[in-house]
Amino acid sequence: MLKDLSIRKPSNLHLAILKKERVLILRDKNNVISFPLKESFKFINSQLFAEKNLIEEKGFYSTYNVTLAQAILGLGVGYRKQLKIAGIGYSCEYKNDSHSLILKLGFSHTVIFPLDKQIIAACPKPRLIVLKSLDKKALHKCAQEIQNLRKPNPYKDLGIYHADVKYRTKVGKKT
């Protein structure tokens, strides 16, 4: 049972456990992520194991295991999200000096959206936003906040869409 729920680390990733602070530190060449440990874990031969009392709470342990695996994958590969902007006159631009996106979304003013330090953005085309991050949760939160600036309109094909999601347009009122 322990082997099924253990996490293997990649060879280029260094793990360290601070027992007093109950923190797991994941480190590669350039980046560091700290991850809180709720219960006591054991680190044996590049594998992380939990004690039996934590394994009995399998729902919590499975969620914790997935979250930790996502952090390891984020350090190894990283996460990426693409947003498409649809609408006449809609566009986006990334300002590197202020680390923010400048969006024209059909309002009477331009929208300036500041980004977190852990998120890297690029606008290769005027209607495409590419977000990258090591933290999956922060990336999805940022993408959702950007999409909430101009939600997709199912009748007119306007708004900010996730590039990997298929949206259907509804038929309007018939006369």
108 within domain boundaries:
yes
What is the residue whose two structure tokens read 């309109």? 153
| Nearest residue to 70 (alpha-carbon basis) of 122, 138, 147, 145 | 138
**Same domain as 90, residue 60:** no
The domain boundary, picked from 34, 49, 76, lies at 76
133: left (phi over 0), alpha (psi -120 to 50) or beta: beta
Cα 138 from Cα 14, distance rounded (Å)? 22
Which tokens sit at 33?
């992520």
pLDDT, tens digit (0-9, with 9 covering 90-100), for 105-139:
999 999 999 999 989 999 999 999 999 998 898 99
What is the residue whose two structure tokens read 């797991």? 24
pLDDT, tens digit (0-9, with 9 covering 90-100), for 40-60:
566 666 566 666 665 566 677
Cα 20 from Cα 76, distance rounded (Å)? 27
**Same domain as 24, residue 55:** yes
147 within domain boundaries:
yes
Domain that includes residue 26, residue range? 7-76
**Same domain as 71, residue 113:** no
pLDDT, tens digit (0-9, with 9 covering 90-100), for 5-29:
455 667 777 777 776 777 778 888 8
Q: pTM for this one?
A: 0.78
28 within domain boundaries:
yes
Q: Contact, 74 vs 133, CB < 8 A?
A: yes
Which burial class, exposed, middle or buried, applies to 4 when counting CB atoms under 10 A from its CB (0-12, 13-18, 19+)?
Answer: exposed
The domain boundary, picked from 44, 76, 108, lies at 76
DSSP structure class, residue 158: B
**Same domain as 33, residue 22:** yes
34 within domain boundaries:
yes
DSSP string, 23-41: EEEEE-SS-EEEEE-SS-E
175 within domain boundaries:
no
Domain count, the chain: 2
The domain boundary, picked from 51, 76, 101, lies at 76
Which tokens sit at 50?
């939990």
Would you state the pLDDT for residue 5? 45
Can you give the CATH number for the domain in which 57 is found? Answer: 3.90.930
170 within domain boundaries:
no
